[in-house]
Amino acid sequence: MQTISNQQIAEMLREIGEYLAMQNIPFKPRAFEKAALTIEGLEEEVSEIYKKGGGGKDGLKALKEIPGVGASIAASIEEAINTGKMKDLERLRKSTPVRLDELSRIEGLGPKSVQKLYKALSIRNLKDLEKAARAGKIAALPGFGKKTEENILKSIGFAATSGQRFFIGHIMPQIRRIEERLRLLPESKMVTIAGSARRWKETVGDADILVVSQKPAPIMRQFVSMPEVVRVIAHGDTKSSVKVRGGLNVDLRVVPEESYGAALAYFTGSKDHNVAMRQTAIKRGWKLNEYGLFKATSEKGRAIGKEKMIAGRTEAELYETFGMDYIEPELRENTGELEAARRHALPKLVGYGDLQGDLQVQTDWTDGSDSIESMARVAMARGLKYIAITDHTKRLAMANGLDEKRILKQMAEIDKLNKKFAGKIKILKGSECDILKDGTLDLPDSVLSKLDVVGASVHSFFNLPRTEQTKRIARAMENPNVDILFHPTGRIVNKRAPYDVDVEELIRAAKRTGTIMEIDALERLDLKDEYIRKCVEAGVRMSIDSDAHSPSHYSSIEYGIAQARRGWAEKKDIINSWPVEKMLKSLK
């Protein structure tokens, strides 16, 4: 049986939903989108859920227990697990000769505009689209215009340059499964993910895995014959390389235990960090490589051509021999971490278990999949002490955004739930309030002032000129009711470039106004690491939020924390690592 990833299943479901939306079928598209949202965030593989359920009829039943998955979607998922395909999707693809998977990656092109483009200009794929845009044909279409055409061309450029690397949030589960597979082999003594994935870089080019073993041959054999392997690129004695389903390349190295630390340091990188470490070694007359740290031995001051290994069994030992503190992988980018380690001045990074709350959570009051209560229960089960319910506001009509009346109703419901959950989890009243074009907000201050946590965010006018965009957002931050600037730059990793904005000016505005800057973990990683570090340096505080639209999305928190660590953030910088009272007091 092939193993199909959650991501692949989610993409298929989403594509079906988009085809249905193109045909103007009501409600159903939303159901597919919701199921896709849930599945891509699940920690357990759907194929495992099916298998564990017993496959067949019982497996199908297990699938139906996944929230948002009804009988017909479950049947499609079962098909995908068994055959790698969904008949409904194949049929839709055939009957609509448009490459929706390609075209809907272009920012601003929804299923309906794709259909218009097909009818008017016979645009079927990205190539057609680019040609038409370059010829100025799209600008001439009613409802499109010059601006849209420019954006399409910009977006095509972005898609072309960002396609080759994998978003860490999508690829990490697959890398971990391979790691787990290798760990189960009796010949492997230790297994560690290295490379950019260990550094939690936002995108990963290929996966690097290190195994300690005295018997590399059987490990190599089993590695190249894993079920997910689609191509063996190299099969050596201690080094192999494969391509797995979904397109990721995985490099495996087997090393002896005495070189483990040196090998891990080397293959963790980054390359720039390694080069700087090696130069430090050379300055001291040592030699550093993936086998260890060596010193030339001498007799009576003359080198005798032999080298003595002085460190390399563990990374800690390696850094210690250099007189440095241990450098966490997230910091190894040669951006000052070596000096800081020498001066014993490295930050004490916020830890993966340090978050007590989540300040951006959506529910079925708007475009989330689940009720406030079930989002709270799942948060509780994950060990969170508080969450802020931050549904969208009315300008986002597509997401059924809340107006004044509905948000007041929601607040009353939260009061009720808080009585029920007293002492277990605190539900905060919040909002993800739209920032309008002029920097004013989508809800009146009289309502915002009643909430515990107000996040403000940009969901429109992405293409304002830089100074105007910056002013607009800064104006929203000046509002005394705005506590957090949600996803400050609007980017989505690998999918959407940030809007043109002066982030340093926003950081200054945050400092001046006491606004918290968000690290939005779900798909966005916005702020990104370099801006997080600027916030840390400026003394601007941040929150790390899941932006969950379904319970499974809480798992994104891990990637948000990783990004914060890459930005040198400590607990003191992250307000939702604090107890709820202290966190609330720190808001405006």
Residues lying near ligand DGT in the complex (CB under 6 A): 195-196, 201, 204-206, 208, 266-267, 269-271, 274-275
* Position of minimal CB gap to ligand DGT: 269
CB of 462 to ligand DGT, least distance (A): 28
CB of 145 to Ca ion, least distance (A): 42
Q: Could you tell me the smallest distance in angstroms from the CB atom of residue 349 to Ca ion?
A: 22
Dihedrals phi, psi of 188, to nearest 5 degrees:
-95, 130
Tokens 């690592």 belong to 577
Helix-then-strand count for the chain, H and E = 25, 17
Number of neighbours of residue 302 by Cβ within 10 angstroms: 7
Cβ-based nearer residue to ligand DGT, 55 or 205: 205
Given a contact cutoff of 8 angstroms between Cβ atoms, the answer to whether 101 and 15 are in contact is yes
How many whole angstroms separate alpha carbon 531 and alpha carbon 338? 20
- 229 DSSP assignment: E
Q: Element (H or E) spanning 255, and its range?
A: strand 249-255
Rounded to a whole number of angstroms, the minimum distance from the CB of residue 196 to ligand DGT is: 3
Q: Give the three-state DSSP class for 208.
A: strand
Which residues touch 509 (CB under 8 Å, ≥6 apart)? 473, 474, 477, 478, 515
Q: Cβ closer to ligand DGT: 129 or 197?
A: 197
Report phi then psi at 227, rounded to 5. Answer: -60, -25
The two structure tokens encoding residue 219: 């490990």
Residue 255 pairs in a beta bridge with: 212
For Ca ion, give the closer residue by CB, 196 or 546: 196
- Minimal CB distance to Zn ion: which residue? 457
Q: Contact residues for Zn ion (CB under 5 A)?
A: 457
Total Cβ atoms within 10 A of residue 282: 11
Q: Return the amino acid letter for 320.
A: E
- Binds 267, which of Zn ion, ligand DGT, Ca ion, none (CB < 5 to 8 A, cut-off by type)? ligand DGT
Q: Which does 463 bind (CB under 5 to 8 A by kind): ligand DGT, Ca ion, Zn ion, none?
A: none
Q: Of 271 and 405, which has the nearer Cβ to ligand DGT?
A: 271
CB 262 within 8 A of CB 288: yes
Q: What phi and psi, each to the nearest 5 degrees, are found at residue 390?
A: -130, 75
CB of 165 vs ligand DGT, minimal distance in Å? 7
- Which of 290, 570 has the CB closer to ligand DGT? 290
Q: How many Å is the maximal CA-CA distance in the chain?
A: 88
Nearest to 448 by CA among 430, 475, 421, 470: 430
Q: Any bridge partners for residue 366, and if so which?
A: none
Q: Which does 169 bind (CB under 5 to 8 A by kind): Zn ion, ligand DGT, Ca ion, none?
A: none
Q: Can you point out the beta strands (E) in 526-565? A: 542-545
Count of CB atoms situated within 10 Å of the CB of 26? 8
126-161: b (≥16 Cβ within 10 Å) or e: bebbbebbeeebbbebeebeeebbebbbbbbebbee
Q: At closest approach, how far in Å is the CB of 434 from Zn ion?
A: 9
Residue with smaller CB distance to Zn ion, 174 or 431: 431
- Min dist. Cβ of residue 201 to ligand DGT (A): 6
**Binding partner selected for residue 274 from Zn ion, ligand DGT, Ca ion, none, CB under the kind-specific 5 to 8 Å limit:** ligand DGT
Closest separation between CB of residue 228 and Ca ion, Å? 17
Q: Rounded to the nearest whole angstrom, what is the least distance from the CB of residue 432 to Zn ion in the complex? A: 5
If the CB atoms of residues 251 and 520 are measured against Ca ion, the closer one turns out to be 251
User: In terms of CB distance, is 164 or 449 closer to Ca ion?
Assistant: 164
Is the preceding omega at residue 338 within 30 degrees of 0, hence cis?
A: no
Query: In 537-562, which positions are buried (b, 16+ CB within 10 angstroms) versus exposed (e)?
Result: eeebbbbbbbbbbbbbbbbbbbbbbb
Q: Give the neighbor-by-neighbor strand order of the sheet with 207-212.
A: 190-194, 207-212, 249-255, 239-244, 229-235
Residues in contact with Ca ion by CB under 5 A are 195-196, 206, 208, 251
Give the residue with the Cβ less far from Zn ion, 273 or 394.
394
**Nearer Cβ to ligand DGT, position 248 or 485?**
248
Residue 303 contact among Ca ion, Zn ion, ligand DGT, none, beta carbon within 5 to 8 Å by kind? none
- Residue 266 interacts with which of Ca ion, Zn ion, ligand DGT, none, CB < 5 to 8 Å by class: ligand DGT
Q: How far is the CB of 516 from Zn ion (least distance, A)?
A: 15
Distance of CA 168 to the CA centre of its chain: 6
* Between 78 and 523, CB nearer to Zn ion: 523
Give min distance, CB of 528 to Ca ion, in A: 19
